[in-house]
Structure 1
Amino acid sequence: MTQQKKTDRLFQPFPGPADPAYTSEQIYVGRFETGLQQWPERQHPHRHAFFEVFWFREGGIKLFHDFASYEIGPQTLVFVSPGQIHTWVVSQDISGIVICFFEEAVALRIGQGNLRRDFPFFSTYKGPPLLQMTSRAQHLDFLSEAALDAFYQPGEKREELVTAYLTAALIEALRAYKASPSHRSVSAAAQLTRDFHLLAEEHYLDRKQVQDYANMLGVTANHLVQSVREITGTTPGHLLRDRLILEAKRLLIHTEDTIAEIAHVLSFSDPSVFGRWFKAQQGDSPGQFRASFHL
């Protein structure tokens, strides 16, 4: 078995079509509680190559999202981006709708074609991946049910109609996100920091120097460091290390890959180099860290 296949074991496939006549591989809509019955493996840690938006209208649920956990109540939107490891602890009375989609299904219809840029709640560094939407719950009930109905009803332009309802829901979420006191104004430093995070998410495995990101962003390294420190309280180099550590932890805990295979995936020249680096960051060797989660 190759390294790539072993690592990909964490990835769950895109859900099947609503019916044999509908072969879209870009977007899927379903009831959350029904999906858990169809795909019980999704109550175990997993990740996807696509985006997910969940609308929970009733009940309670606990989300484990990488190495954080969130208690989620009713009338809440939850966002999961590609690559994020997550799982659920579900109550009996949960009721919700999930929309799964690839970026190209919606990104070019609105904004600049980059979902993480256009909708910051999909970014991995912006805090809890959820929005309480009590004041707009009735409208989101309508949009989610309309998307579900459109997905299961045959007819022309079905995918376009589903995408239109999804787009409306994302715009509702964006308005709520920007209306919160902490996001009403975005400084130049905050915008640069967000752009850095977007690039880091894409290039953290092959670009590990702050100067590389400064060049891509068209600023000096000093300006990038000052801006990121102003917004986050830490440096771009530290954030790059944090992102690499996160991926290392994901692979150590959720795969059976050897330390050597993980070192290769993370672009380290030698397993011993990876081991020393990991221990310097975490205080434990990769093997010790893995063992602590398997006790």
Structure 2
Amino acid sequence: MTQIIPDQQTRPKLVQISKLAAAPKWQLETMRALREPLFLWVTHGQGRIAIGPRTRGFHPHNAIFIPAGTLHGFQAMTRVQGTAIYFGTTHGLELPQTPLHLRLRDAGQHAEVSQLVDFVQREVDGKRPKAAQAAYHQLGLLAIWLDRHHAAHQGENGGDLTQLNANERLVARYATLIEREFGSALNVNDYATALGVTPTHLTRACRASCGHTALDMLQLRRLYEARRLLMETDTPVQDIARNLGFSTPSYFSRAFAKKIGQPPSSYRKQHEAKPRLTH
């Protein structure tokens, strides 16, 4: 059963990247997928973004598009500013099916993207009649811009992120399986078998591609979900353990404490002041 972080809204939403970058390190850097497409327009600062198995640096005037279901992680190295546009799960637009990272050098292009983002922001935040319809059409113009620049930048600036080497292709397949199955009890050996390689080869490819072992990638994704559920829901610890494929609640608690530094119950208590969802 596919398990993707279920906290996305169906309607478009704009968030300042500085707000996203202020989140805890684990929330930013752990690879995860969203149910909706995401567009990032960086206007200040720099950092690194992992999209699938490839990690790249980003700088001011970088436009990054991440399709729904694409694994990604984010690392801010300096104070980062800009805008993140979440298209929503029911956008109905023709958007690129592959990730894009466009490094725009022309001042006219900078102004064009900023204007498109501003127009979407005005309609999403505004109270004018037919604001939702207007926002949809503004997002449509952004979708056209992405399509045009996808074609123009293929092979340039590293804009096309689909050209992967053998290790990256294998890790991309592994990452996709993790996102689909992280709630199961499958281990690295099971994943390697499903991918037609040995566990050693899979781990070597993961190290070469993204600096993590195959086991690290799996554990980080499960612990990301565990933290989210502990912080945001009232789901019992034993249910979280079962839903994330741990054999027993005690094994889950030990693994969580070893990596996070405190048991799940203490972690939940530390964050109990935050609003929770019934899960």
TM-score class normalised by the smaller sequence = 0.5 to 0.7
Contact 1:251 1:257 in 2 (8 A): no
**Residue 38 to residue 146, structure 1, CA distance change in 2 (3 Å):** farther
**Contiguous gaps of at least 5 residues in structure 2:** 157-161, 207-212, 220-258, 260-279
- Distance across 2 between alignment mates of 1:243 and 1:34: 28
Paired residues for 1:225-240 under 5 Å: none
Match for residue 280 of structure 1 among 197, 212, 226: 197
Match for residue 185 of structure 2 among 258, 277, 281: 258
- Distance across 2 between alignment mates of 1:93 and 1:233: 32
**Contiguous gaps of at least 5 residues in structure 1:** 16-24, 108-113, 184-196, 198-230, 264-270
Q: In the comparison of the two structures, how many residue pairs are matched?
A: 202
3-state SS, counterpart of residue 62 of structure 1: strand
Corresponding residue for residue 85 of structure 2? 99
Contact 2:5 2:34 in 1 (8 A): yes
**Residue 148 to residue 244, structure 1, CA distance change in 2 (3 Å):** same
AA matched with 1:143:
L
Corresponding residue for residue 132 of structure 1? 103
- Distance across 1 between alignment mates of 2:66 and 2:115: 21
**Residue 233 to residue 58, structure 1, CA distance change in 2 (3 Å):** closer
Match for residue 153 of structure 1 among 123, 126, 140: 126
**Residue 156 to residue 143, structure 1, CA distance change in 2 (3 Å):** same
State the 1:243 CA deviation. Answer: 6.2
Greater helix share, structure number = 1
TM-score normalised by structure 2 residue count: 0.58
Higher relative contact order (CA 8 A, sep 6+): 2
Q: Please tell me the root mean square deviation across aligned C-alpha atoms, in Å.
A: 3.9
Paired residues for 1:76-225 under 5 Å: 76-102=62-88, 104-107=90-93, 114-115=94-95, 119=96, 122-123=97-98, 129-135=100-106, 136-180=109-153, 182=155
> Per-residue CA shift, 1:1-45, capped at 9, x if unaligned?
xxx4xx63x515115xxxxxxxxx321112121244478764142
State the 1:170 CA deviation. Answer: 2.5
Match for residue 176 of structure 2 among 221, 240, 247: 247
TM-score normalised by structure 1 residue count: 0.55
Contact 2:116 2:138 in 1 (8 A): yes
Contact 2:39 2:66 in 1 (8 A): yes
> Per-residue CA shift, 1:90-143, capped at 9, x if unaligned?
134311111111364242xxxxxx53xxx3xx415xxxx211223200111112
> Per-residue CA shift, 1:176-196, capped at 9, x if unaligned?
23234749xxxxxxxxxxxxx
Corresponding residue for residue 12 of structure 2? 27
**Residue 14 to residue 248, structure 1, CA distance change in 2 (3 Å):** closer
Contact 1:133 1:176 in 2 (8 A): no
Contact 2:13 2:88 in 1 (8 A): no
Tell me whether 1:61 sits opposite 2:34 in the alignment.
no
Contact 1:26 1:102 in 2 (8 A): yes
**Residue 285 to residue 64, structure 1, CA distance change in 2 (3 Å):** closer
- Distance across 1 between alignment mates of 2:140 and 2:123: 14
> Per-residue CA shift, 1:244-289, capped at 9, x if unaligned?
444235568xx463117x99xxxxxxx6xx6544463664589x96
3-state SS, counterpart of residue 127 of structure 2: coil
